[in-house]
């Protein structure tokens, strides 16, 4: 069983932080997430905003108290919890909230004051324009930029949660100029790509479904042929039988066997036809998602990473490697992810095969390729 929630949104009001009698600190925030869609009747772009109550305990609550304000942009991971309580009229009430196990501050450094903003959309911070070149070799040595979001996580033990891990605090002085520059670029990419994490997930699911429907089982066909052969054998036995009772028995058995065999063969044919139609629909959906991801990638100026490494799950991993001190540059972090034997070769081979398979379907333009599954980050 899985109970997991991932949100990227803006804080609508200043957080409510309080200390319990036990000494534990708890924070509650109201987080707004906004989806944009096109009304097919009016061809207008509309927005749908959802509000979520997020509860954070101990170490996470400390970070919220110090650094989170109205307008802050957050990445939240957690689980759904339904709470029962009694109102002043002694009536039982229920409320659903998200209990956070991980939080990332997006869009500003920890020591920078939060600027008020409406809880709609995802504002990208202004950054100095600099030029970068995308590498043509598997070793990525480019520098990066943007603010370093703070990652804080801890184990969850129930509704009351003990956050044993202290908040990780980012300070510019702790890092060299190169590391700060790369953290800034990493956060700039996260601010741009993370609001569309659902687009990447839908894209991966579409590719997985294509593989699943392409692997139709031939078992019904094989069994259908075997049973039909048995039925024909029974027909032959009925023809050559010497006694009337044997003829009737063989005939009934042959008829049943032939019906079952033909039914299984028809089932296989119908299933194959359905799978073929479903695959065509999925490829159409894949093409639409691919176009959206390409537009998203082209909308980011001077991206130093190739498209296959822009999945927010990869970007968050790169950022954590730099913040932890294991890597200094985005290039180092990419090489750390590719350090598994033949990982880069597998990605290149998979990309070449995927582009070859999709070029014919999409008028000579290969579909968007995502490396997240090959880095085991799904």
Q: Is 232 exposed, middle or buried (0-12, 13-18, 19+ CB in 10 A)?
A: middle
Average confidence (pLDDT) over 3-22: 88
What's the pLDDT tens digit per position in 16-56? 998 888 778 899 999 999 887 777 778 788 888 889 999 99
Average confidence (pLDDT) over 344-354: 81
Average confidence (pLDDT) over 271-288: 88
pLDDT above 90 as % of the chain: 6
Average confidence (pLDDT) over 117-123: 36
What's the pLDDT tens digit per position in 171-203? 433 446 888 888 888 888 998 998 888 888 888
Q: Is 19 exposed, middle or buried (0-12, 13-18, 19+ CB in 10 A)?
A: exposed
Distance between CA atoms of residues 109 and 278, nearest Å: 46
Q: What confidence score (pLDDT) does residue 31 get? A: 93
Distance between CA atoms of residues 123 and 107, nearest Å: 8
H/E segment holding residue 283: helix 244-298
Distance between CA atoms of residues 304 and 297, nearest Å: 11
What average pLDDT does the chain have? 76
Alpha helices by DSSP H, 68-166: none
Q: What confidence score (pLDDT) does residue 244 get? A: 59
Dihedral (CA of 62, 63, 66, 72) sign:
negative
Distance between CA atoms of residues 236 and 250, nearest Å: 9
Q: What confidence score (pLDDT) does residue 124 get? A: 36
Exposure on the CB side of residue 246, measured as CA atoms within 13 A: 9
Q: What confidence score (pLDDT) does residue 11 get? A: 93
pLDDT at 110 over 70: no
What's the pLDDT tens digit per position in 219-258? 888 888 898 888 888 887 777 766 556 677 777 888 888 8
Give the distance, in angstroms, between the CA of residue 164 and the centroid of all CA atoms in the same chain. Answer: 27
Name the more confident of 279 and 23: 279
Of the listed ranges 9-23, 150-164, 350-364, the least confidently predicted one is 150-164
Of the listed ranges 10-14, 161-165, 241-245, 276-280, the least confidently predicted one is 161-165
pLDDT at 3 over 90: no
pLDDT at 376 over 70: yes
What are the E-state strand segments in the chain? 5-11, 16-19, 25-39, 44-57, 73-86, 92-106, 151-153
Q: What confidence score (pLDDT) does residue 341 get? A: 58
Question: Which band of pLDDT confidence, cut at 50, 70 and 90, is reported for residue 120?
Answer: very low
Q: What confidence score (pLDDT) does residue 221 get? A: 85
Beta bridge mates, 98: 54, 80
pLDDT at 123 over 80: no
Q: What confidence score (pLDDT) does residue 113 get? A: 42
What's the pLDDT tens digit per position in 305-331? 888 889 988 898 888 888 877 888 888
Q: What confidence score (pLDDT) does residue 105 get? A: 84
pLDDT at 167 over 70: no
Average confidence (pLDDT) over 140-167: 36
């Amino acid at each position: 069983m899985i109970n997991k929630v991932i949100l990227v949104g803006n804080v609508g009001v200043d957080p409510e932080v309080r200390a319990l009698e036990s000494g534990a600190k708890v924070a509650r925030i109201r987080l707004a997430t906004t989806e944009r869609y096109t009304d097919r009747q009016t061809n207008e772009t509309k927005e749908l905003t959802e509000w979520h109550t997020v509860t954070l305990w101990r170490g996470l609550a400390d970070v919220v108290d110090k650094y989170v304000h109205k307008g802050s942009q957050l990445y939240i991971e957690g689980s759904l919890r339904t709470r029962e309580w009694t109102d002043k009229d002694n009536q039982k009430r229920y409320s659903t909230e998200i209990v956070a196990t991980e939080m990332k501050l997006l869009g500003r450094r920890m020591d920078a004051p939060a600027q008020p903003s409406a809880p709609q959309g995802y504002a990208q911070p202004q950054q100095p324009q600099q030029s970068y070149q995308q590498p043509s070799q598997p070793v990525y040595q480019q520098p990066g930029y943007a603010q370093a979001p703070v990652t804080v996580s801890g184990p969850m033990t129930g509704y009351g949660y003990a956050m044993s891990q202290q908040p990780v605090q980012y300070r510019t002085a702790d890092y060299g100029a190169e590391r700060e520059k790369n953290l800034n670029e990493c956060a700039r990419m996260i601010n741009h790509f993370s609001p569309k994490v659902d687009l990447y997930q839908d894209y991966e699911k579409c590719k997985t479904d294509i593989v699943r429907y392409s692997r139709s089982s031939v078992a019904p066909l094989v069994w259908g042929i075997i049973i039909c052969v048995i039925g024909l054998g029974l027909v032959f036995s009925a023809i050559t039988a010497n006694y009337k009772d044997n003829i009737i028995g063989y005939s009934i058995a042959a008829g049943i066997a032939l019906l079952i065999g033909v039914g299984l063969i028809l089932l296989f044919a119908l299933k194959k036809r359905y799978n073929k139609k479903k695959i065509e629909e999925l490829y159409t959906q894949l093409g639409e998602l691919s176009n959206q991801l390409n537009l998203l990638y082209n909308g980011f100026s001077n991206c130093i990473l190739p498209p296959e490494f822009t999945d927010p799950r990869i970007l968050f991993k790169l950022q954590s490697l730099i913040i932890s001190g294991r890597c200094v540059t985005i290039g180092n972090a990419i090489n750390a992810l590719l350090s598994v034997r033949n990982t880069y070769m597998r990605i290149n081979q998979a990309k070449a095969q995927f582009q070859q398979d999709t070029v014919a379907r999409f008028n000579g333009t290969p579909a968007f390729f995502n490396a997240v599954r090959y880095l085991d980050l799904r």
